[in-house]
Amino acid sequence: MDYERNLPAHIGIIMNGNGRWAKQRGLPRSDGHKQGAKVFKQICEYAGDRGISHLTFYAFSTENWSRPVEEVMAIMNLFREYLFEAEERKNENEQKGMKIRFIGDLDSEIIPRDINHLVHMLEAESSNKFKTTVNIAVNYGGRQEILKAVKGISQRIKNGYLLPEDITEKDIEEGLYTAGQPDPDLIIRPSGEFRLSNFLIWQSAYSEFWYSDVLWPDFTTQDFDRAIEDYCLRNRRFGGI
């Protein structure tokens, strides 16, 4: 089979297992997140080189705020470091044609102000790139995303621009963070878990899933290739025969 011709257009990745990776080695959980951040960068660039046009990485959920304060602060610091590094590597990212987008409630008061500023700056600077769109989900929840879309529809009804009986799936899709992008063809979840965990729950209605026992900090480009090869062997019928 010609795998390159059957590549998924959009891959979602749930980066899971950082804490367990650190615990197995007697390290602080923050060390697991640091190693996970390195793997994120590697897989992001490799996927772009392989011709994947859209990627969505689940970095920090709306539920993750319930974790210990020290761990949350460590994750935010890693996020901050990534944003600074992305700014420093701006020319390199431009050559790679990467459009960086952040999905989730990044304007929430709970997000540090400097991170909010860096997020909007990076999005603006890469907005004209089209080779690979990289979505990074931060303060993101699938239910929260759908609720946002429904509130937008409600406002349109209130303002007289839409009748309730005229609401379509397209109206909801246009209110999602991923509006205008293809739904994920493939969702990868390492670490031995078999949950969606509130990730792209509208968009993943017909996604293929690939699971692995490998913890995210140990995830390699070979694992990524195996996921794609497995996807290419599947017969996607979308409810048909």
The ranges assigned to domains in the chain are: 3-143+183-232
Give the bridge partners for 55, in sequence order.
11, 134
Are 138 and 177 spatial neighbours (Cβ–Cβ below 8 Å)? no
Q: Judge: domain 3-143+183-232, CATH 3.40.1180.10.
A: yes
At residue 4, the pLDDT reads 62
At residue 2, the pLDDT reads 52
Tokens of 146: 């759908």
pLDDT at 130 over 90: no
Confidence of residue 214 (pLDDT cuts 50, 70, 90): very high
- Report the distance separating Cα 142 and Cα 148, nearest Å: 10
Q: Which of 109-123, 126-140, 210-224 has the highest mean pLDDT?
A: 210-224
In the chain, the DSSP E strands lie at 10-14, 54-61, 98-103, 132-140, 186-189, 208-211
- pLDDT average, residue stretch 74-102: 85
pLDDT at 5 over 70: no
